[in-house]
Amino acid sequence: AVNLPPDGLTKAAAQLGLGIDYVAPGMTTVTGSVPVADTSALRVEEGIGQGEVTASPFGMALVAATLARGSVPAPTIVEGEPGVADRTPEPLPPTVAEQVQAMMRETITDGTATQLQDIPGMLGKTGTAEYIDDQHAHGWFVGIKGDLALAVFVSDAGSSAPAVDAAGRFLRATG
C-alpha cells in the first residue's frame, strides 16, 4: 500500500464495489468508503482495512460477488429490477480475481476458516476490525460458494470465529 498513489486503494476498492452508491428497489444501499490517503502512513492503515476505511456487510458481500464474477454486479432485490450504480468501475483483471480466489480457498483449507472445509467449493476470508484504541474487535467472514456471495459481521466478537461459525450454520442449513 505504501507504494501506491494516494488514490490507489480508493480506485481498487471501487473495482470491488466499495464506495459506489446504488439505487436498488426494495433496499437502501451503503457499501462503504476507502478515502484517498495522502500520506504513506494512511495508506498502510487503509491497506489493512483500518484508518478511515468503512465497509458494510452489504458492501463486503458485493466485494465477494465481484471476485466471483470479475466485475461488480448490479444488486437486485426485486426480480427484473436491478439496482443502478452512480458509476461503473473497470472490471478486475481476470488474473487478479483468480489469485484472490486461490487465496480465499487457502483460508478454508489451511487458514482461519478450516471449520468450513466440509462445504464443497467454499472460498472465504476472515477478518477483524479493531476499534476503541484497539481494545475491541468486530468479526468478519466473507465467502463465495458457487453463485452465492455472503458477508457476516459480528459486532464486538473479539475475533472472526463467531462470524465463521454463523456462515457455516447458514450454509449448512441452506445446502
pLDDT band at 76 (very low <50, low <70, confident <90, very high): confident
Read off the amino acid at residue 45: E
Q: Same domain for 77 and 129?
A: no
Q: Are 56 and 69 within one domain? A: yes
* Half-sphere exposure at residue 68, Cβ-oriented, CA atoms within 13 angstroms: 20
pLDDT at residue 134 in the model:
72
Residue that the C-alpha cell 472465504 belongs to: 124
Residue 67 carries which side chain, given as an amino acid letter? L
Query: How many domains, the chain?
Result: 2
> How large a percentage of the chain has pLDDT more than 70?
100
137 forms bridges with which residues in the sheet?
A: 130
| Rounded Cα–Cα distance for residues 17 and 69 (Å) | 12
Segment 102-123, tens digit of pLDDT: 999 999 999 999 999 999 999 9
Which of 96, 123, 124, 64 is CA-nearest to residue 72? 64
Q: What are phi and psi of 74, to 5 degrees?
A: -85, 115
- 23's grid cell: 439505487
Q: Which one-letter amino acid corresponds to residue 168? A: G
Do 49 and 111 lie in one domain? The reply is no
pLDDT at 22: 87
Last residue in a domain, options 58, 89, 120: 89
Minimal CA–CA distance to 103: which of 65, 67, 128, 69? 67
Whether residues 105 and 140 share a domain: the answer is yes
What are the φ/ψ torsions at residue 171 (nearest 5 degrees)? -65, -40
Same domain, 14 and 38: yes
Nearest C-alpha neighbor of 100 from the set 4, 11, 2, 15: 15
Same domain for 2 and 85?
Answer: yes
Examine the domain organization and report whether 75 and 148 are in the same domain.
no
**Cα–Cα distance, 44 to 37 (Å, whole number):** 9
Residues 81 and 106 in one domain: no
Average pLDDT rounded to a whole number, residues 57-80: 92
Separation CA 120–CA 60 (nearest Å): 22
Assess whether 98 and 169 both reside in one domain. Answer: yes
Tally of CA atoms within 13 A in the half-sphere of 54 that contains its CB: 9
Residue 132 has pLDDT above 80, yes or no: no
For residues 66 and 97, membership in a common domain is answered with no
The residue segments making up the domain with residue 5 are 1-89
Q: What is the pTM of this model?
A: 0.92
Distances (CA, A) of 161 to 59, 61, 125, 131, 143: 20, 18, 11, 17, 14
| Mean pLDDT, rounded, for 68-91 | 88
Query: Which of 89, 122, 137 is a domain's end point?
Result: 89
pLDDT score at 114 = 99
Q: Same structural domain for residues 76 and 107? A: no
Query: Do 100 and 40 lie in a common domain?
Result: no
